[in-house]
Structure 1
Amino acid sequence: MKFDFDTWIDRRGTASFKWDANGTYYGRDDVIPMWVADMDFPCAPAVVDAVKRRAEHPIYGYGIRQQPYYDAVMGWLKRRHGFEVKQEHLAFAPPGVIYAMYVLLRLITEPGDKVMIPMPNYDPLFGMVQESGRTLVETPLVWREGRFTFDFVDLETKAANGVKALLLSSPHNPTGRVWTREELRTLADICLRHDIFMMVDEIHCDFVPKEHPHVTFGTLGEDVLKRSMICYSANKGFNLGGLGMATVVLADGVLRERFNGEMLAAQTRLDNIFGIEALIAAYNEGEEWLDAAIDYVSENKRHLERVLRERIPEIRMIPSEGTYLAWLDCGALGLRGKELEHFMVQKAGVAFCAGYEFGEAGECFVRINLACPRCILDEALRRIERAVKARRG
């Protein structure tokens, strides 16, 4: 089946966070938005058809998960990721992955407890640590052999100093690293030695090319599974962000009951009726579309790297192994932090996620979303090239 990823579909006027909030966030409506991590592609036809069928029923009352939902989740994790999860280990958080992690963080730690995060990282992860009154412990990623990886010496040293929990994004947001089994097992062993609970955000796990297979935390061993929370969602891989669904794997039965109790107390256990149908269709019938989308974005990555190398050498793309995001090193522009953000928005007319939002290590970087038609990427690159040429003088 041929899927059209080249045609631009105008999302303006649809209450799109990505396209209709630019004036609010960036002070101008004419920027090209490449910041929010959703796709400018139409969803998989099977997903669209499933939502349409449900919409034709004229009553939109409360929804519940039934066995086809569980079967779709478990089937997908086994087929796509080699993880045979037990149904009784599943929990759900309709608001999404970040809400699920925030709830569990408050269950397993107390105010003042130390929580470690590899940096740079997705800002809501370390934001939830700070907002909940926990103590953020940063461990830096290091550049080694052409890619970012963990500093295991630093990790071990800090882990031994009373850290209670580790928060990890896998694949990594913003750098696009797809961690290897060896890296993850070494990280997990450090946490196990120091009795650190592991909370893993795998929301981007479906969007990885075959040459960089994702290793889900759930396959590292029973010892790891018992001391971890793993969060999945169809939101990134299938562009369902507006439907707010998250699957949580918690093998610890006592902790899972406490987590479910929090969901019940907050009245957040009932799923979006359209999200239910969308997830089932995505996992059961959307794999061909997903593979095609990954191939298209992979070519966008190659195109971006080529254009930067040949026409805008001041900006360097960090190799992105997975996700539809890329981490761009803009250090050669001589700008950092808010100055770099101002240059991109006001001079180039392109809105990226500013690197400083991911921590101090991101001051000279921006994060770009490449899940867009190539014509949008090319227009953004033309604008950036003009702005950089003007800066060169």
Structure 2
Amino acid sequence: MKYDFDTLLERKGTSSFKWDTGMDYFGRDDVIPMWVADMDFACAPCVVEAVQKRAAHPIYGYTVRQQSYYDSVMGWLKRRYGFSVSQEYLCFSPPGVIYAINIVVRILTEPGDTVLIPTPNYDSLFDLVTRNGRILAESPMRWENGRYVLDYEDLERKAERAKALIFSSPHNPTGRVWTREELERLTEICMRHDVFMLFDEIHCDFILKENPHTTIGLLGEEVLRHSMVCYSASKGFNLGGLGMATIVLADDDLRQRFKEELSIAQTRLDNVFGAAALMAAYTPEGEAWLDQAIAYVSENKRYLADFLKAHIPQIQLCQAEGTYLVWLDCSGLPYRGMALEHFMINEARVVLSGGYEFGSLGDSFLRMNLACPRSVLREALERMEEAVRKISV
């Protein structure tokens, strides 16, 4: 089956965080939103059918995970990534990945302890560190040959005083897909300094075959016992509104403490529709849809690269290895930080994520979401071209 990613579906008026917050967030509603990390594609038909089938039963009570749910998760990790995870290691965080990381940070560290995060990085990961009274240690990545790489010497120095590392893999916002060698070197440093590792792999499903994702689960039992690995169907299958995450915790004591925290907060049970959606997504039919969505967004990336080169050379596309997010170098424009973001909102009428939100290295960057029909991308780029041309005259 060939799936339709070209049709523009009307999302305004659906309580969409991405499309219905223009006036509240930006003071105008005539903008094209390309900021929030969700897709403007219809979900896979098998997912829609599964949710509709469940909705047809008129009772939406508390939902328990049955063996079929576990089998779906374990089957997906094995088939997609070659990771044969033990069922006993599996935990779940219905509120999502950030909630799960927040819980484990609070379990393993005390106020005043240091948590290490390479930058730029997803701003919510910074927030959960600082707003919990922990000290954020940023490790700025290095720019080499058109992409970011880890600064291992800096990581080594800062790991000496850190209690935990939070790491985005694949990387948000830059789209880096880390190689096995990079991850092995990173985990070796953390293991040597007794730094517990929290891996956010929420974007791992949206990866090209030529840039395969290496999940931490493949690096051995010892690494796994010093790690927390977070997965979710929300990004790859556009299910963010259903709130769910799969967590792998191999350490028995930490896993029990994690489950106890979820029990105390009464957050251990999945959304009734989320369970149906996940099991449908992790089928061959769901995987076929995902592969076609990845191929479509890859064409969007090529279109973007060609357009920028021909019409907006002041903006450079950083090497985009994975995810449907791209990192734009806007150092050729006369704006930085919030001023750069506001220029795009008010002059181009396009909402992109301001790079400053991802750390000090992002001051001249913007993050763009390409999971949209090409017609939307084309209009956004034409608006950006016109706005840039006005300031270049």
Normalised-by-shorter TM-score class: over 0.9
Deviation at 1:222, TM superposition (A): 1.1
Structure 2 unpaired stretches of 5+: none
- 1:70-149 correspondence runs (5 A): 70-149=70-149
Q: In structure 2, what is the Cα distance between the partners aligned to 1:110 and 1:379?
A: 49
Query: Secondary structure at 1:331's aligned position in 2?
Result: coil
Query: Secondary structure at 1:367's aligned position in 2?
Result: strand
Q: In structure 2, what is the Cα distance between the partners aligned to 1:27 and 1:141?
A: 34
Q: 1:334-376 deviations in whole A, cap 9, x for unaligned?
A: 2101110111000000000111010111000000000000000
- Residue type of the partner of 1:309? K
Deviation at 1:223, TM superposition (A): 1.3
Counterpart in 2 of 1:333? Answer: 333
Q: In structure 2, what is the Cα distance between the partners aligned to 1:318 and 1:147?
A: 6
Deviation at 1:187, TM superposition (A): 0.2
Q: In structure 2, what is the Cα distance between the partners aligned to 1:203 and 1:272?
A: 18
Give the number of aligned pairs.
392
Q: 1:30-81 deviations in whole A, cap 9, x for unaligned?
A: 1000000000000000000000000000111111111010000000000001
Deviation at 1:214, TM superposition (A): 0.3
- Residue type of the partner of 1:277? A
Q: In structure 2, what is the Cα distance between the partners aligned to 1:295 and 1:175?
A: 19
Q: In structure 2, what is the Cα distance between the partners aligned to 1:177 and 1:125?
A: 17
- Residue type of the partner of 1:254? D
Counterpart in 1 of 2:172? Answer: 173
Query: Secondary structure at 1:74's aligned position in 2?
Result: helix
Counterpart in 2 of 1:314? Answer: 314
- Residue type of the partner of 2:317? M
Q: In structure 2, what is the Cα distance between the partners aligned to 1:388 and 1:353?
A: 18
Q: In structure 1, what is the Cα distance between the partners aligned to 2:217 and 2:23?
A: 42
Deviates more, 1:194-203 or 1:139-148: 139-148
Counterpart in 2 of 1:53? Answer: 53
Counterpart in 2 of 1:291? Answer: 291
Q: In structure 2, what is the Cα distance between the partners aligned to 1:348 and 1:151?
A: 36
Q: 1:163-188 deviations in whole A, cap 9, x for unaligned?
A: 10000000000000000000000000
Q: Provide runs of 4+ in structure 1 moved above 2 Å.
A: none
Deviation at 1:330, TM superposition (A): 0.4
Counterpart in 2 of 1:392? Answer: 392
**TM-score, normalised on structure 2?**
0.99
Identical aligned pairs, as a percentage? 64
Counterpart in 2 of 1:4? Answer: 4
- 1:331-370 correspondence runs (5 A): 331-370=331-370
Counterpart in 1 of 2:190? Answer: 191
Counterpart in 2 of 1:229? Answer: 228
Q: 1:239-288 deviations in whole A, cap 9, x for unaligned?
A: 00000000000000000000000000000011100000000000023000
Counterpart in 2 of 1:257? Answer: 256
Counterpart in 1 of 2:240? Answer: 241
Deviation at 1:145, TM superposition (A): 2.7
Q: In structure 2, what is the Cα distance between the partners aligned to 1:83 and 1:108?
A: 26
Q: 1:279-311 deviations in whole A, cap 9, x for unaligned?
A: 000002300000000000000001001100110
Q: In structure 2, what is the Cα distance between the partners aligned to 1:264 and 1:71?
A: 23
Deviation at 1:158, TM superposition (A): 1.1
Counterpart in 1 of 2:202? Answer: 203
Q: In structure 2, what is the Cα distance between the partners aligned to 1:104 and 1:92?
A: 13
Q: In structure 1, what is the Cα distance between the partners aligned to 2:357 and 2:192?
A: 32
Deviation at 1:146, TM superposition (A): 2.5
Deviation at 1:144, TM superposition (A): 1.5
Query: Secondary structure at 2:69's aligned position in 1?
Result: helix
Deviation at 1:147, TM superposition (A): 1.4
Deviation at 1:23, TM superposition (A): 1.2
Q: In structure 2, what is the Cα distance between the partners aligned to 1:58 and 1:227?
A: 44
Q: In structure 2, what is the Cα distance between the partners aligned to 1:366 and 1:26?
A: 16
Counterpart in 2 of 1:267? Answer: 266
Q: In structure 2, what is the Cα distance between the partners aligned to 1:147 and 1:16?
A: 33
Counterpart in 1 of 2:275? Answer: 276
Q: In structure 2, what is the Cα distance between the partners aligned to 1:99 and 1:126?
A: 13
**TM-score, normalised on structure 1?**
0.99
- Residue type of the partner of 1:293? A
